[in-house]
Amino acid sequence: MLCADTPEWENDLPEPGWWFEAGPQRTAVPYSFLIGPDGSFGIAMDSWVPLHARIEGWVESLALAQSAEHIAETVTKLSGDAVTALDLSGMRPVPGTAGIVDTWWHGAGSLIAICNGEAKLFGRPDYRVARVYSGNIDMEWL
């Protein structure tokens, strides 16, 4: 749920301007989900990390995760150095997600979501997470 009724002017973030909170928090995290002045979606605490270039990219990412979870035969979660070791050769980015820091990749029979937002926000590479969805992935529904 987006709630654009509480815009706040921010001077402390890299891009001063009007920022909108992207709905109520659903979990206890030390950062906020925000929509930036340029329409990007991301997370912020003392700094701003844009996850997707557009709000629609964030929504597409959520929808893709929901669908992939139900369709894939196997879902493997990787973190830290294992994410860095992922071989993305032969994979293509999923353009609809408009990924900046969080990205989606697809290839023959697999789909990969790589989440770098928290790792970048906290300066902790070990916070990187990837989900590899494999088997039964038909590129026609991307």
pTM summary value: 0.82
- Identity at 40, one-letter amino acid code: S
46 confidence band (pLDDT: 50, 70, 90)? confident
2 located within any domain: no
Same domain as 16, residue 84: no
Q: Do residues 88 and 105 touch, judged by C-beta distance below 8 A?
A: yes
Query: What sections of 3-116 are H helices per DSSP?
Result: 55-71, 81-84
Nearest CA to 112 out of 142, 127, 12, 38 is that of 142
pLDDT digits (tens, 9 = 90+) for 54-66: 989 999 999 999 9
In 3-state terms, what secondary structure has residue 133? strand
Q: Residue 37's domain spans which residues?
A: 8-52
Residue 62 sits at φ, ψ, to 5 deg, of -65, -45
In 3-state terms, what secondary structure has residue 130? strand
Query: In the chain, how many domains are there?
Result: 2
d(CA 43, CA 50): 6
Same domain as 93, residue 135: yes
Same domain as 84, residue 44: no
Same domain as 137, residue 73: yes
Q: Please give the full DSSP string across 45-68, using - where no structure is assigned.
A: SSSEEEEESSHHHHHHHHHHHHHH
Range with lowest mean pLDDT among 36-50, 55-69, 76-90, 128-142: 128-142
End-to-end CA distance of the chain: 23
pLDDT at 5 over 60: no
1 located within any domain: no
Same domain as 33, residue 22: yes
Same domain as 80, residue 22: no
3 located within any domain: no
Same domain as 99, residue 74: yes
Same domain as 60, residue 43: no
Same domain as 105, residue 68: yes
Nearest CA to 116 out of 105, 108, 106 is that of 105
